[in-house]
Structure formats: structure tokens, C-alpha cells
Structure 1
């Protein structure tokens, strides 16, 4: 017999940081709520997919409202001379919330495990190359890598440097990583403003 509790738990397990026990706990928490909560939950899930799209420039997900790009890429006050590369939307949100960095962003869509053989199928390497190439023509001066201080994050940093090497060197563009004031094992989405400021100022 089909077990909907187990099936839903397996779906939640696919989310980052959710294990078997946590997944089942979420399911039982949902079951404990009333029908209004369940209906609202389902409705919001549908709206997320119906009303949000990835920005064609930075690939950050945003609410589509008859504009072609997200509010950050569409902001005329953004500094077009720097682009900061992050793994996920949550990293971008955390950094933008600090109000410290004033340049452009690019969301990779994840990080590359050390043993992965086809990184271009895991993160947006081709899209990043095209974005940087287009920005160079508009005065880009620096690429800042803001991957997590984890084995996968540091491996991703190395892959990007290799992938962009010729484009960067031919156009004399600087490519730097956040300073290592960030503790090993830290994911960027959990960084506090003071630590981020220090890491940004000490990038190299």
C-alpha cells in the first residue's frame, strides 16, 4: 500500500540539510496543522513556481512582474565594474542584506563536489563565461569569488578560475576570492556583516 507520509518525507529529504528524521518530523508537523494551513502551503508552493523566474543576467530567482530582470540587475546605482559570484540565491540574499557590496552578482546554482567530472552540468559555468564576457565590454574590472569555505566551495573556486583564465588574462581583469577571515566550513548564507566586510576588504 502506498504510504503518502513516507513519500512526502522523501521529497523533503531532497532539500539541503534535511535528513530522514527531519523530513518525517516536517511531515508530521504539517499533519498536525489544520486544513487552512495545508491549503495555504499548497497555494504558496504553486505561486512560487508560477510567479518567479530566474533572472536572465544573474540567475537569482525573483517575482516576475512584467520586467525582464531582477531589481538588483535593474538598479542603475549598481557598480558595473565588479561582479560577485555566489553558489546559491540564499548566499546572494545574505550578502545583499548587509548593504556592504554594491556591485553585480551571479548565482552558480550550487557547488561542485571534488570528485565530479562534468562541472558544467552542475553549475552555470557556460552562462558565467558569457555574462563576464558581456560585462567586460561594458567596463568590468573585477570578478569576486564568494564560494563557501568548504571542500566543495574551494573546489568550485578553482574550477571557475580555470574556466575563466584565458578570458580574464586576455582582458586584464582581476579575479579574487573573499579573504579567509571566514571560518573553515562556513557557508556564505550564514556570514555576518562584520565578517563579510573583513573578507571583502581582504580579498585576494
Structure 2
């Protein structure tokens, strides 16, 4: 009987070890994600940062919002989230400014879905400062508050920092995820949007283990 119990425990231990090994080998650098060298500076040291590079006009980013939104509801306490609007061309800089303006004014939770819907469902290009101003005003933000934030040094500085982060991470498409400034995950390499988060969770755990 004792031998049977010991044998069972031994098999369970081997099985657990194999499962851990399989998990550790499940995602491979260069295949499922890329290493960023040198790493990008994180905003909140002391936490493991998950950043998303996105564009309001990207349909894939629009569908990913629901996925990442659910994930953020159960985000561990030792993890922080940062949105980084991608800027490939001039008009995208306006959209990046819209994101950071909403953040500065404390209306990001309201304006984020509004801007996504405007560009993806209502097919509004939001190609001018006036277009973006009108959208904010239509959703309860005063014209004065909008312009003060939108044209501020702080917002323009954040746009520049986001552009630098995307360049440093060698982002080529959206949505893309970045873990702790060290790893870049794209849907193309991860498999699909759900797999992007699985790879992110794996890398977050690796960062957690390396810190202990």
C-alpha cells in the first residue's frame, strides 16, 4: 500500500514537472514573441507593465478592446497597463493626442469607446483637430478644457514618448503588446488575439519569477 502511494506521488511529481517544462517551452523567443533590445523604459517601476500599441482606426484594435478590457478586470495587483497610440503618419498623431487628452482630462473610460466607435462604426476619419474637438464637446467636455489639454506640452510630450517607444520596440502593426518593456507580442507571431494575451501572461509570470 505504501509502495503504491509512493509510486502515485512519484508519478504526480513527474507529471507536474513535465507540465511545468511543457509550459516553459510553450512560447519561444523569435517564434511567439520578440525580445526588445535595449528594453523600453516603463512608466511605473515596481510593477510589471503590459502595454498595448494600438490605433483608433484599426479594426483589429477595435475588436481587441473587448478582449483586453475583460483581461484588465482581473489584472493582478503587481501588473500595470499602459495604452500607447501608434503613429505611422500625420493623422495618427491627432488620434494619439486625442487619447492622451482624454487621459489628462480624466475621461478616458468615456472617450476611448466613443473614439473607437466613431472611426470603426460611424466611419468618421477624425482627420482634423476640429473633428476631434467636436467629438469631445459632444460627449460633455468643455471646449476650453479640451483645447487646453489637447495643445498642452504634456500631451505633445506623451505623443513623442509613445512614438519613441514604438520605434524602440520595432512595432510594425497593431494591436501589439509589450511586456515590461522587454518583449513584443504580435497577433501574427502569437497566433491570434486571445493567444497574444496567453503569451503576455506567460511573460508576465517569467518577469515575476525573475524578480524573486
Q: When the two structures are superposed, what TM-score results if normalisation uses the length of structure 2?
A: 0.27
Higher relative contact order, chain-length normalized (CA < 8 Å, sep 6+):
2
In terms of fraction of residues, the more helix-rich structure is 2
Larger of the two Rg values belongs to structure: 2
